[in-house]
Structure 1
């Protein structure tokens, strides 16, 4: 096979045309040339006004073209060998010849003007290196600029002696080196020019896996000997086949491969069919959650086998919410606290044409710390806690109960409140609320508060009093306390004090006063229900009594009030009596003055004055006074007789009788005012 030159029809400004032209330098008959062109190309070249200027460039000899005088009985010189009608002719003057002999006639050399090879000022010159690897190493292409008309070329003509040209039966057309046509004997041997439609094929790939791909391509034009597939990437593979498809194995995951499929025709590569593809990237390994915060989640994984360009982390199924990473970890931010998120991690290639199967993982973000943790209410055995949360998602709250740093127990709830029960009265407790996500894998920051159970009331409150003090004692049978609050109250006066003892002495009190004593158990800011008792201080004796006024029927007396007595609330019991008349009476008064009325005149009355306090009475103070007498004179005459002589005459007898009479009267008139006067 001779040397082949490739001519590509193109415009100076761009795009490839659809025809390619091939010059063969090996000499062949017209039939052999046509046979070769029809087998290895499409046909011998057909010339027209559009391609003539391209084809004639750099012709160094004459070439067969696809025009014959009589082609399968057609009209002379009317049809090209590919069946196209002849619409353009560029015959050398005097050709094609008429079928007769012309005697030779000498001619004088004269300049001839013919459309020979065109000057280079209206051509583009392009050097294509290795454009057709199996044709030439360097091909020079001259591209005619159709915007400029061809310039006539004046060439000196040699002096010739025109000989009668032989008559050629059914000649073939030869393209002369300077571009004009001339018919020649078809059996002559000379180079020829073939043409072919430019081949635009495509390679398709499918069933791409980690290590394999299925390729299929467009069938080549004409009689294709075979197809040569060249794969380039991290490995190079060259395979030949007569099929239009091929499976490629043992590839590397996530790798870019370039494919060229050459249709080989007559040991010539047609224009390659090209494609590129990535094998499917491999799946990442050991996807784990390495760090969780309230608004972010950190993921990490192990690099997969093969190649890749980056990783994409999809949040849920939302392709628009994707984070890319070139390292084996990724921080996803702007998340909401306490919410469950699903992640899909893909291995991806640069052009994102294919990705690995996903590796899935899910994780909650860490919940926020609860806010406003408070003790809402309490009793002696329970404490009611309340709090708020920032998240609008379901959470579980673990309430840890401890005391003095020692864990006691914990309870869980789905609500933002809890009643912690079975507690001891009067105890201080520490409460820690830990927010947890529903699967209990993550907890938020702890929130802590302190609360007290309400202490139990005291029992057996007992009061004992004397004149100026009260002693209170009590018991606490259950629970704990920090102190006791005591209040003593009297009329218009309150006094409060604290003690850690189970007794207390109230001193400097008023005597005979009513006091209310209240005792409450205190823990922290909490107090138990108060327990109250009433008691009076013991009364003290009233002060010295004195007479204010008296009449025959009334006696008014007053007594002093001691300083230690509560003058506002003290009462007095006044008993007065007359033994003579066997009369007695009593009066209770809150004043320190009393008037005894309706008395007998001239009678001694004894007054007993006592201070009253509740059911207790002081020792009495006494006072005796008589009413004014209604004066009467009573004369008693006595006559003495005795069986003893001179007895009545004796002074002693008279004195004795008088003494006996006075003694009898004293006994008889006790409690009555009288005066006894002896007259002789």
Structure 2
């Protein structure tokens, strides 16, 4: 008996644990079909009257030898066995663990159940994929682009080198590279700009973070720069810039830079000066300060000092000199500086030296002095008598003050002043009286032993008067605070040179001396007698008076006829008289100039008949 025909080539589909078969019946009749399969071990046999079957409970990734044949109705006559191999699909790998750096992605996974001949890895960044095979459960994908997202698939391959398990597909991103050339610019008290160069490879944005150790800030930017604001002055900030990939969860290595904000500007300083130093006090700016920088100069080489205090004394300065001074705060890096607060201050000029007063008149005086040490641009000369005040600015070291009142004390101060006219040195003072005025022409009355004087006060003030007189010998001097005086105990008939002048309140400054001469009256002649009387003549004789006289005026009269003669002797013979007539004879001593007569002495005598 002939056996059943051979089945047509079956169609096969597999998964990890079964193989599904479909085939066509052979020509002729078939009672049932016999299926046998094994993976090299004991075979399994099943019978079916259908033209399909599912071999189940198989081992993934395993090659099975399968045979299918028809069986005739006697249940023993078999057709030719159609034998072939089929491989179950390997299982899917376990979830891989992934670690990345900038240029590689490292993978580790667990083997699936069943058997695996090798593993297929495929990855791409959107371009042409790369494929590698490995028989290990780990792999390193290298030579990748930093900051790039890769789609990766890993699947097992069966021993037939073509049956593949389900592909486990996922994405992983290489870490971005570190940004380059990070720098900080445009530093102010409350902001700074950080800039950097784009890293190699890819990144989608940059995470900028900053902190001063207390306050922290962060921002994501797509540009390669960021201006950070609302910072505290004079504080150090640690700034980190990190390149981040598209999905925002993969950060590259951070690049860091430290930078202080500029300290704030100091408050307006209070300034006090003397001749050789300038003292400064200021308030600290907002924020933090490490120290302060002070710089000053007078137009030459500057001097610079540092201090951690809010005050300073600039010493060894030149008197009367304008200094440009700047003060600014310095941050803790010892180089970041705040805005320089610049101003000018002037040392006080030194006091003028050797102040003297000369050329004193009734209405003016000249004051002179020596230039002080250091600098000054002009001198302020001020004067006052307590009522009237005057002032003038001069550049010379002398000043003639006019329009003063005679005999008055003036307080004169000279002050060196700097260029801007607002900084005065210590004043030097001197007191001086103007000369009193000259007295008016005195009225004079004399007698034989005294001269009485009356005069008018000069304009201005007078403390007292000085009187001096002499007759050619040693002078006598007296002082009085009255406008009259009597010079007594004088010699009769003597010419006196007299001077009267006003004296000021300092008891030494004198007005112009009004000098004149006055003559005391001569004394009366003594012992006048008449002798040698004749009809036409008589001789008169007398004794010289006390004191001085220069000649004698002899006068005679009979009531009708009068005669006179000046003689220097103490006698005179009068002739050409009329006989028997009474004559009145007077003798008067007269001084040198002939205008001052003493009291006359008289005698009456008749001529003979």
With structure 2 as the length reference, what TM-score do the two structures score?
A: 0.69
**495, 498, 517: which one aligns with 2:390:** 495
8 Å Cα contact 1:281/1:348 also seen in 2:
yes
Equivalent position SS for 1:269: coil
| Unaligned runs of at least 5 residues, structure 2 | 1-8, 25-31, 59-71, 544-553, 555-566, 572-585
> Partner of 2:431 in structure 1?
534
What do the CA deviations read for 1:425-446 (whole angstroms, capped 9, x no partner)?
1122222334443435444443
> Partner of 1:223 in structure 2?
115
Alignment partner of 1:255 is 2:148: yes
**598, 603, 615: which one aligns with 2:508:** 615
8 Å Cα contact 1:64/1:190 also seen in 2:
no
Alignment partner of 1:676 is 2:601: yes
Aligned counterparts of 2:508 and 2:193: Cα–Cα separation in 1:
84
Superposed counterparts of 1:488-637, under 5 Å: 488-523=383-418, 524-546=421-443, 558-563=454-459, 566-567=460-461, 569-573=462-466, 586-589=478-481, 591-592=482-483, 609-613=500-504, 614-617=507-510, 618-620=512-514
Aligned counterparts of 1:508 and 1:384: Cα–Cα separation in 2:
43
How many residue pairs get matched? 513
> Partner of 2:240 in structure 1?
344
> Partner of 2:11 in structure 1?
3
> Partner of 1:232 in structure 2?
124
8 Å Cα contact 1:252/1:306 also seen in 2:
yes
> Partner of 1:451 in structure 2?
345
| Unaligned runs of at least 5 residues, structure 1 | 8-18, 46-59, 67-80, 83-164, 170-184, 628-632, 641-645
**274, 283, 288: which one aligns with 2:183:** 288
Shift of 1:236: 2.6
Superposed counterparts of 1:296-311, under 5 Å: 296-311=191-206
Shift of 1:533: 1.5
Aligned counterparts of 2:328 and 2:539: Cα–Cα separation in 1:
118
Shift of 1:517: 1.7
Alignment partner of 1:466 is 2:361: yes
> Partner of 2:105 in structure 1?
213
Equivalent position SS for 1:518: strand
Equivalent position SS for 2:376: coil
Aligned counterparts of 2:255 and 2:156: Cα–Cα separation in 1:
42
Q: Which of the pair is proportionally richer in helix?
A: 1
Shift of 1:342: 1.6
Aligned counterparts of 1:300 and 1:44: Cα–Cα separation in 2:
76
> Partner of 2:208 in structure 1?
313
Aligned counterparts of 2:212 and 2:106: Cα–Cα separation in 1:
30
Structure 2 CA distance for partners of 1:637 and 1:310, relative to 1, 3 Å? closer
Aligned counterparts of 1:547 and 1:639: Cα–Cα separation in 2:
37
Superposed counterparts of 1:26-105, under 5 Å: 32=36, 35=38, 62-63=52-53
Structure 2 CA distance for partners of 1:507 and 1:320, relative to 1, 3 Å? closer
Aligned counterparts of 1:303 and 1:336: Cα–Cα separation in 2:
29
Aligned counterparts of 2:216 and 2:383: Cα–Cα separation in 1:
77
Aligned counterparts of 1:635 and 1:353: Cα–Cα separation in 2:
151
Shift of 1:3: 3.3
Structure 2 CA distance for partners of 1:585 and 1:422, relative to 1, 3 Å? closer
Structure 2 CA distance for partners of 1:408 and 1:332, relative to 1, 3 Å? closer
Structure 2 CA distance for partners of 1:320 and 1:639, relative to 1, 3 Å? closer
Structure 2 CA distance for partners of 1:420 and 1:241, relative to 1, 3 Å? same
Structure 2 CA distance for partners of 1:603 and 1:663, relative to 1, 3 Å? closer
What do the CA deviations read for 1:1-33 (whole angstroms, capped 9, x no partner)?
9534579xxxxxxxxxxx987633259977635
| Greater RCO (Cα-Cα under 8 Å, separation 6 or more) | 1
Superposed counterparts of 1:139-538, under 5 Å: 201-206=94-99, 208-233=100-125, 236-265=129-158, 267-316=162-211, 321-373=217-269, 376-403=271-298, 406-464=300-358, 465-523=360-418, 524-538=421-435
8 Å Cα contact 1:486/1:519 also seen in 2:
yes
Structure 2 CA distance for partners of 1:637 and 1:328, relative to 1, 3 Å? closer
What do the CA deviations read for 1:17-55 (whole angstroms, capped 9, x no partner)?
xx987633259977635x47999xxx999xxxxxxxxxx
> Partner of 1:172 in structure 2?
none
Structure 2 CA distance for partners of 1:237 and 1:44, relative to 1, 3 Å? farther
> Partner of 1:24 in structure 2?
21
> Partner of 2:560 in structure 1?
none
Give the alignment's Cα RMSD to 1 decimal: 5.0
8 Å Cα contact 2:466/2:477 also seen in 1:
no
Shift of 1:575: 6.8
8 Å Cα contact 1:262/1:272 also seen in 2:
yes
Aligned counterparts of 2:212 and 2:165: Cα–Cα separation in 1:
46
8 Å Cα contact 1:202/1:275 also seen in 2:
no
What do the CA deviations read for 1:141-199 (whole angstroms, capped 9, x no partner)?
xxxxxxxxxxxxxxxxxxxxxxxx99999xxxxxxxxxxxxxxx9x99999x9999985
Aligned counterparts of 2:140 and 2:495: Cα–Cα separation in 1:
146
8 Å Cα contact 1:201/1:219 also seen in 2:
yes
Aligned counterparts of 1:480 and 1:279: Cα–Cα separation in 2:
75
Shift of 1:519: 0.9
What do the CA deviations read for 1:451-482 (whole angstroms, capped 9, x no partner)?
21111111111111123321111111422212
Equivalent position SS for 2:458: coil
Structure 2 CA distance for partners of 1:664 and 1:593, relative to 1, 3 Å? closer
Aligned counterparts of 1:512 and 1:220: Cα–Cα separation in 2:
131
